[in-house]
Amino acid sequence: MYGLFVFLFLILPAVYLAYLLNKRGFAFKYLHRIYLRALKEEAKSFSRFTFKHFGGFLPHAKRILFYFTAALALILIVTGFIPPLIGKHLYGIFLLVHILAAPFFCAALALLILLFAGQHSLGKEDIFRLKGFSFKDLHLNAHIIIRKISFWVFAFFSIPAIASIALSLFPIFGTEGLDNLLLIHQISVLFLALSFFFYSFSLLYPLTNTKSVIK
Amino acid sequence: MRNKFSFSLIALFYLLSLNYSLAQDKKIGDERDGSRSKPIHVIKLLDENNNIILPDDNPQFPFSTKYTCGDCHSYEIISKGYHFNSPAAKSSFDRNGEPWIYLDLKSLTVLPLSYRGWGGTFSPEKVKISPFDFLKLFGTHYTGGRISEDESLEKPENYFRWEISGKLPVNCLICHDAGERFNSAEYSANILKQNFRWAAAAGTDFSVVKGSAKEMPDNFDQYNSNTFADVDLRVFSPPSVSYTKPAFNGNKVFFDIKRRIPNDRCYYCHSSANADRKENKILAADEDVHLKKGLLCVDCHTNGINHEITRGFKNDAKIKNDPSVISYTCEGCHLKRENANGKLGAPAPQHLGLPSLHLEKLSCTACHSGLIPSEKSGLVKTSRAHKLGLPGINKSANLLPHIQMPVYVKNEEGKIEPRKLLWASYWAELKDDKIAPLPVGEFSDSLSVLLKTDSLKTADGLQSVNDTFLTKALRFMNKNSAKGRKIIFVSGQNYFELSEKSELNIKSNADIKPYSWALAHDVRPAAQALGAKGCNDCHSWNSNFFFGTVSIETPYSAKAGSLKMNSFEELGTVYYKLLSLSFFFRPLLKGIIIFSLLVILLTVLVFVGKGILALAKYPPADSENNLWE
């Protein structure tokens, strides 16, 4: 059942967003190259780190944190959603990778939300961005509203997603309670992953205007 | 119209007569009347010819349970019950149980036998063990019935011995006689003397059975003393029974029969003793929690007149084609249902902190039954394998056969459950890659000389053999077997064969596996369950549940070693080692997760607060004159 939900509410929207990007000429095969190139650049700049110019390095640190969190999110999405999609429980190597990546993701996510929240706070101007909003044809800066909303959806659903697992680590709930916590986790991460895809979409959308990512 | 009426009348008459005849088939004791009181059994004793036994009879004959009990209870139905019968066709839902273990130290043979066709056991018929021989070997803990009374199964060579020993009908008393003075061991002792006809009487407190049918010659006739004239009567006497007269109330005798059989009766055949425990000492507290709470074995292992006893596993309901049987499983009693928690409000487990995955991958018994796993699987002695309860038995802790427990094995349902495990060792014929054990005793005497096992002084382990001995034995057996017959020795995980150059080869075969069967008792309460102390009970680097060792029992010492528990569980070593690491770092991970959660929660709250504040300040104060804009 959960597998069906994943398919309907995660895979289909993700495919649709990918289709929109692809339609605008976005080449997904270059995605990992973009990611690695950006990471390399940030790492280079970080190697020149000195405490004297600490303030100047903060944006680089933020970007590295973002890339790191995105990579972990991708790992969690792959390991967490593939088993239910094929009708299995999270078990074996998937479970192992999932539980090993999860704490690092939590820590990175907390930092990310803390550092990025200010930039994603909603303002009056965002109401104007919503006017005439259409996924098929996003007008100038309209992707920013997607980014902001998906950020807050992401932040909001990360709370039950993490809390449900944190609670299950203690002998407070019985098996039935743990099943309910798992259900809360599963539903929350569905929204979490969905918002992650929208956020990524909002980041990639402006790139379709540059030649580097066009087919 | 007239024809129709006549037809209806005939049909009505037929139905009425059928109903009448069916009612006639039921005996007085076949159906309960609803009274919870104990039915008092003051009854006539009937012998095997259905003649009444009187206190002053001379000579006195042993009573037959078939007729004495069968007077009021349908023996034909009862004798098809689980303990007394084995199905002609094995149900695919059947579950392995404890086998009868044939042991021959001389020929290094340990062979699990069963008439039930359990995978990994061998039918006694296949290894040429006749029903009479079966009783000689295992009758001490056999309840009687089927093989011990069905003439069609008898072998001609045992004809005279059957005539002397008599049949062994289902011994109802071995379970149902709740009298304090009922003596199961005396029943067993008489089975050893081949006094089958007398064995049931021997157990009662009002009969004294003497003599030994085993020592009587083949032409023995108790009415003709000439037939046993050669027997030294100072040493062996012909089998006989005498009844104590005060036990008779007129022509009747009191039997202390109970429907709810006391546990002691079950324990006679179903005891397990942890062999590692000093002097076989059993602590009073070490018993199944259900029994300590006041339940009896038969409260769960129940049955009707057909004596199809409930075995307590999930598929038993399918075998018996009775869905209600499922209520006698662990889940049936303890899991929450709409109306009640199973029977007698059995506590529903909370399983605090236990993810449901465990309930899918493990049987209830994995955490709650048997001994807590230790570094090395222990040895266990069972009533049937080690003849516990008989006077004068060898009480050595390491007495053969070596049954190991607990060994965690993946069962047919894909769940891990604790089992008892036995490594077989036997001589066999290899044909088309199929292994068939040789008839027991075929080469036993020759082998004992060749392998020098004829001077054994201990029964604590099979004598070790090396390449030279095995080569010699196999060469001898292959030479003395029919042409084209390939004799091998199966032991541990391998079989041993001779190459064309008469060199010893050690090979593997998919059929060579240890035999294991589920153990369900003693059940430990939640506080003593595996995992009660935390996840580390199982998920630790050297967890005994995954990485405890199970010895490979084989007389060929070079191949004797051990296997890790996870090989029986069919689980990977690397994965569970890595998983255990995650539990090692779990306190740290918990800290990280909780701290992260608090940071996210605070950040979201701060910004939500800011948003609310912004909304409260909107529109700005200078728009106070345009209230609705």
Q: Which pLDDT value is given to residue B155?
A: 84
From A107, A162, A171, residue closest to B352, measured CB to CB: A171
Residue B553, in any domain of the structure: yes
Structure token pair of residue B543: 């967890």
Residues of B in contact with A165 (CB under 8 A): 593
Looking at the fold, whether B283 and B385 belong to one and the same domain comes out as: yes
Q: pLDDT tens digits, residue range B234-257?
A: 788 889 999 999 999 989 999 999
Q: CA B336 to CA B267: how far, in whole Å? A: 31
The amino acid that residue B571 corresponds to is L
Res A25 pLDDT > 50: yes
Structure token pair of residue B471: 């080569």
Task: Say yes or no for a CB contact (<8 Å) between B586 and A166.
Answer: no
Q: Which of A157, A170, A175 to mutate to test the interface with B (most CBs of B within 10 A)?
A: A175
Q: CA B255 to CA B73: how far, in whole Å? A: 15
State the residue for tokens 């289909």: A12
A88: nearest CA in chain B?
B357
Task: Say yes or no for a CB contact (<8 Å) between A169 and B350.
Answer: no
Q: By the CB < 8 Å criterion, does A172 face chain B?
A: yes
* Distance of residue B139 Cα from the nearest chain A Cα, in angstroms: 46
Number of cross-chain residue pairs from A and B with Cβ atoms under 8 Å apart: 105
Report the Cα B178 to chain-centroid distance in Å.
22
Looking at the fold, whether B162 and B251 belong to one and the same domain comes out as: yes
Q: Residues of chain B whose pLDDT is less than 50?
A: 1, 20-22
Q: Which pLDDT value is given to residue B209?
A: 94
Task: Say whether B277 sits in a helix, a strand or coil.
Answer: coil
* Distance of residue A212 Cα from the nearest chain B Cα, in angstroms: 35
Task: Say yes or no for a CB contact (<8 Å) between A175 and B349.
Answer: yes
φ, ψ dihedrals at B279, nearest 5° = 55, 30
Residues of A in contact with B352 (CB under 8 A): 171-174
Question: Residue B574: which domain range?
Answer: 265-422+516-583
Structure token pair of residue B252: 């009747």
Looking at the fold, whether B593 and B574 belong to one and the same domain comes out as: no
- Close Cβ partners of B364 (under 8 Å, ≥ 6 residues apart): B330, B331, B334
Of residues B434, B455, B370, B456, the one with CA closest to residue B405: B370
Structure token pair of residue A37: 């190139």
Residue B16, in any domain of the structure: no
Looking at the fold, whether B369 and B469 belong to one and the same domain comes out as: no
Looking at the fold, whether B404 and B550 belong to one and the same domain comes out as: yes
* Distance of residue B533 Cα from the nearest chain A Cα, in angstroms: 11
Q: CA B225 to CA B267: how far, in whole Å? A: 41
Task: Say yes or no for a CB contact (<8 Å) between B603 and A117.
Answer: yes
Residues of B in contact with A175 (CB under 8 A): 349-351, 354-356, 358-359
- Close Cβ partners of B152 (under 8 Å, ≥ 6 residues apart): none
Of residues B382, B397, B486, B422, the one with CA closest to residue B109: B422
Residue B211, in any domain of the structure: yes
Task: Say yes or no for a CB contact (<8 Å) between B575 and A182.
Answer: no
Q: Which of A126, A165, A169, A170 to mutate to test the interface with B (most CBs of B within 10 A)?
A: A169
Q: CA B110 to CA B511: how far, in whole Å? A: 16
Q: Which pLDDT value is given to residue A215?
A: 47
* Cβ A39 vs Cβ A58: under 8 Å: no
Looking at the fold, whether B226 and B310 belong to one and the same domain comes out as: no
Q: Per CATH, is A2-213 categorized as 1.20.120?
A: no
Q: CA B204 to CA B518: how far, in whole Å? A: 33
Looking at the fold, whether B386 and B492 belong to one and the same domain comes out as: no
From A91, A96, A110, residue closest to B357, measured CB to CB: A91
Q: By the CB < 8 Å criterion, does A125 face chain B?
A: no
State the residue for tokens 């550092």: A115
Q: Which pLDDT value is given to residue B192?
A: 94
Q: Where are the domains of chain A?
A: 2-213
Structure token pair of residue B588: 């740290």
Q: Kindly tell me the burial class for residue B383, based on how many C-beta atoms sit within 10 Å of its own C-beta (0-12, 13-18, 19 or more).
A: buried
> What's the domain count of chain B?
4
Q: By the CB < 8 Å criterion, does A163 face chain B?
A: yes
For chain B, the C-alpha Rg in angstroms (whole number) is: 32
- DSSP-assigned beta bridge partners for residue B488: B428
Sheet of B248-249: strands edge to edge? Answer: B52-53, B41-46, B252-255, B248-249
* Distance of residue A1 Cα from the nearest chain B Cα, in angstroms: 17
Residues of B in contact with A180 (CB under 8 A): none
Task: Centre a 10 Å sphere on the Cβ of residue A179 and count the other Cβ atoms it contains.
Answer: 15
CA distance from start to end of chain B: 96
From B357, B578, B600, residue closest to A109, measured CB to CB: B600
What is the length of chain A? 215
Of residues B467, B469, B477, the one with CA closest to residue B443: B477
Q: Which pLDDT value is given to residue B89?
A: 62
Task: Say whether B355 sits in a helix, a strand or coil.
Answer: coil
DSSP string covering B460-506, please? SSPPPB-HHHHHHHHHHHHHTS-TT--EEEEETTEEEEE-TTS-EEE
Question: Higher model confidence: residue A140 or residue B54?
Answer: B54
CA distance from start to end of chain A: 38
Q: By the CB < 8 Å criterion, does A68 face chain B?
A: no
Q: By the CB < 8 Å criterion, does B219 face chain A?
A: no
Q: Which pLDDT value is given to residue B12?
A: 60
CA distances from B484 to A15, B73, B429, B475 (A): 68, 54, 10, 13
- DSSP-assigned beta bridge partners for residue B240: B210
B600: nearest CA in chain A?
A110
Res A214 pLDDT > 50: no
To 5 degrees, how large is the angle CA B271–CA B274–CA B280?
A: 85
- Helices B196-203, B184-192: axis angle to 10 degrees equals 160
ipTM exceeding cut-off 0.90 for this assembly: no
B601: nearest CA in chain A?
A159
Looking at the fold, whether B194 and B75 belong to one and the same domain comes out as: yes
What is the length of chain B? 629
Task: Say yes or no for a CB contact (<8 Å) between A121 and B611.
Answer: yes
A115: nearest CA in chain B?
B603
Looking at the fold, whether B331 and B376 belong to one and the same domain comes out as: yes
Residues of B in contact with A96 (CB under 8 A): 575, 578-579, 582
Cis peptide bond N-terminal to B124, omega within 30: no
Q: Which of B589, B598, B608 to mutate to test the interface with A (most CBs of A within 10 A)?
A: B589
Residues of B in contact with A91 (CB under 8 A): 357
From A95, A100, A174, residue closest to B350, measured CB to CB: A174
Task: Say yes or no for a CB contact (<8 Å) between A175 and B595.
Answer: no
Structure token pair of residue A21: 């990007």
Alpha helices, DSSP H only, in B556-625? 565-569, 573-584, 586-616
CA atoms within 13 A of residue A94's CA, in its CB half-sphere:
14
Residues of A in contact with B354 (CB under 8 A): 174-175, 178
Q: CA B331 to CA A186: how far, in whole Å? A: 27
From B589, B596, B607, residue closest to A121, measured CB to CB: B607
Q: Which of residues 596-615 of B touch A (CB under 8 A)?
A: 596-597, 599-601, 603-604, 606-607, 610-611
Looking at the fold, whether B443 and B392 belong to one and the same domain comes out as: no
Among B256, B288, B310, where does a domain finish? B256
Alpha helices, DSSP H only, in B516-585? 544-547, 565-569, 573-584
- Close Cβ partners of B24 (under 8 Å, ≥ 6 residues apart): none
A122: nearest CA in chain B?
B611
Q: Which of residues 22-61 of A touch B (CB under 8 A)?
A: none
B534: nearest CA in chain A?
A171
Q: Which pLDDT value is given to residue B282?
A: 56
Task: Say whether A12 sits in a helix, a strand or coil.
Answer: helix
From B575, B600, B610, residue closest to A155, measured CB to CB: B600
Residues of B in contact with A184 (CB under 8 A): none
Q: Which of A178, A179, A195 to mutate to test the interface with B (most CBs of B within 10 A)?
A: A178
The amino acid that residue B598 corresponds to is L
Looking at the fold, whether B345 and B414 belong to one and the same domain comes out as: yes
Structure token pair of residue A2: 């959960």
For chain A, the C-alpha Rg in angstroms (whole number) is: 19
Q: Which of residues 156-185 of B touch A (CB under 8 A)?
A: none
Q: By the CB < 8 Å criterion, does B595 face chain A?
A: yes
Q: Which pLDDT value is given to residue A36?
A: 82
Task: Say yes or no for a CB contact (<8 Å) between B600 and A173.
Answer: no
3-state secondary structure B364-407: HHHHHECCCCCCECEEEEEHHHHCCCCCCCCCCCCCCCCEEEEE
- How much of chain B is in helix, strand and coil states, percent to nearest 5? 35, 15, 50
Q: By the CB < 8 Å criterion, does B39 face chain A?
A: no
Residue B1, in any domain of the structure: no
- Close Cβ partners of B93 (under 8 Å, ≥ 6 residues apart): B315, B316, B318, B319
Residues of B in contact with A163 (CB under 8 A): 597
pLDDT above 70 covers a percentage of chain A that reads 86
* Burial state string for B107-133 with b = 16 or more CB within 10 A and e = fewer than 16: bbbbbbbbbbebebbbebeebebbbbb
Q: CA B168 to CA B150: how far, in whole Å? A: 10
- Close Cβ partners of B37 (under 8 Å, ≥ 6 residues apart): none
Q: Which pLDDT value is given to residue B417?
A: 94
Report the Cα B73 to chain-centroid distance in Å.
27
Task: Say yes or no for a CB contact (<8 Å) between B600 and A113.
Answer: yes
Q: Which pLDDT value is given to residue B579?
A: 85
A161: nearest CA in chain B?
B597
Looking at the fold, whether B232 and B379 belong to one and the same domain comes out as: no
From A96, A159, A165, residue closest to B604, measured CB to CB: A159
Of residues A44, A69, A20, the one with CA closest to residue A201: A20
* Distance of residue A104 Cα from the nearest chain B Cα, in angstroms: 8
Residue B115, in any domain of the structure: no
